[in-house]
Amino acid sequence: MNTAVPQAVELIAPPHWRTVDFLSDLHLQAAEPETLACFERYLAGRQADALFILGDLFEVWVGDDACDEAGSFEATLAERLAAAAQQRPVYFMHGNRDFLVGTSFFERTGVIALADPAVLIFGTQRLLLSHGDLLCLGDVDYQRFRRLARSSAWQQAFLAQPLAERRAQAQAMRAQSEAHKQAGEAYADVDGPAALAWLQAAGAHTLVHGHTHRPAEHVLAPGYRRVVLSDWDAAAQPPRADVLRLTARGLERIRIGPM
C-alpha cells in the first residue's frame, strides 16, 4: 500500500474573494431530480466568490463524449456548469465516481481542473483540499482498483469502448455498490495519521475533504483538524444538502434547503 505523502499544489485566492464555498458528493444523476434541482438553485444564488467541487459531483462519468449526446443528462449538466463558471470561478477535483472527467469537459464548461491534494491560501488561512478517497488506507480493495483505474492504459481501454457499453458497465458497478450498502458493509474512514502527515507536509492545519459521507470535524492533533463535507440527497428525510463556507472568520456549514 502506498503511504507516501503527495505534494500539494498551491492556489492563492485573489484579494477580492470574500466568500468561498466547498461541496462534494452530490452524486448527480437523472434518477434523482430533487438533488439536481437543489444544486441548480444553489448555483443561481451566486452567494460565493468561488466554488470548489471536491469530487463526486456526478454519480458516474463514463467519458466526456457523453456530453455530445443532445439532451443527455451529461450535456444538461455541462450547460449548467458553463453558465455558473461565467459568473464566478468554479474548480473541480476528481472523485472516485467521476475520475474520467477529461480535458474536453473543462474546455466545454470553463470549469477549472484542480489537482488532489491542493492547498488554498485564503488570506492568512491555508486549507488542504482533497476528495479524501486516497486517505482511506483501510479500504485495500478500493486502493488497488484506484491505482488500476487511474492508469492511462486502463482509461484508454475503457474509453475506447462504445458509449452504450460504458454506460452498461457503470450501471453494473453502481448496482454492486448499492448491494454492498444494503448489506450494511462498513466502509473505511480516513486514516488519521496519514491525514496529519499530509497537513504537516503542506504547512496547513485544516484538511477539507468529502468521500466518506460522514460530515463532522475531527481533531487530529493539537492545532490540526479535518473537516468532512456532507453528501447531498434532497429526497432524503431529512434532506441533505450542505456547503462548507469559508470567510475571513473561518469555516461554517450552510444548509441548502429544498423549495
Q: Write down the pTM of the prediction.
A: 0.95
Task: Give the pLDDT score at 175.
Answer: 80
Task: Return the percentage of the chain with pLDDT > 70, whole number.
Answer: 95
Cell numbers standing for residue 228: 468532512
In a domain, 184, yes or no: yes
- Average pLDDT along the chain: 93
Binning pLDDT at 50, 70 and 90, where does residue 23 land? very high
The H or E element containing residue 201 is helix 192-202
Task: Give the pLDDT score at 186.
Answer: 66
The rounded distance, in Å, linking the Cα atoms of 187 and 157 is 29
In a domain, 58, yes or no: yes
Task: Give the pLDDT score at 176.
Answer: 77
Higher pLDDT, 183 or 249: 249
Q: Which residues contact 57 (CB under 8 A, 6 or more apart)?
A: 24, 26, 28, 92, 95, 98
pLDDT digits over 155-202, tens only? 999 999 999 999 999 888 878 777 766 665 667 899 999 999 999 999
Task: Give the pLDDT score at 2.
Answer: 56
Task: Give the pLDDT score at 180.
Answer: 65
Cell numbers standing for residue 144: 488497488
Task: Give the pLDDT score at 122.
Answer: 98
pLDDT digits over 63-95, tens only? 999 999 988 999 999 999 999 999 999 999 999
Tell me the average pLDDT across 230-251. Answer: 95
Tell whether the model's pLDDT for residue 98 goes beyond 90. yes
In a domain, 1, yes or no: no
In a domain, 5, yes or no: no
Q: How many CB atoms lie within 10 A of CB 68?
A: 14
Q: What are phi and psi of 60, to 5 degrees?
A: -155, 150
Residue 81: give its domain's CATH number. Answer: 3.60.21.10
Tell whether the model's pLDDT for residue 223 goes beyond 60. yes
Task: Give the pLDDT score at 1.
Answer: 52
Residue 73 is part of which domain span? 11-255
State the DSSP string of 110-169: -PEE--SSEEEEETTEEEEEE-SGGG-TT-HHHHHHHHHHTSHHHHHHHHTS-HHHHHHH
pLDDT digits over 115-127, tens only? 999 999 999 999 9
In a domain, 185, yes or no: yes
In a domain, 4, yes or no: no
In a domain, 6, yes or no: no
Q: Are strands 50-53 and 206-209 parallel, antiparallel or unpaired?
A: unpaired
Binning pLDDT at 50, 70 and 90, where does residue 106 land? very high
Task: Give the pLDDT score at 174.
Answer: 78
Number of domains, the chain: 1
In a domain, 37, yes or no: yes
Tell whether the model's pLDDT for residue 257 goes beyond 80. no
Bond preceding residue 222 cis, omega within 30 of 0:
no
Task: Give the pLDDT score at 173.
Answer: 81
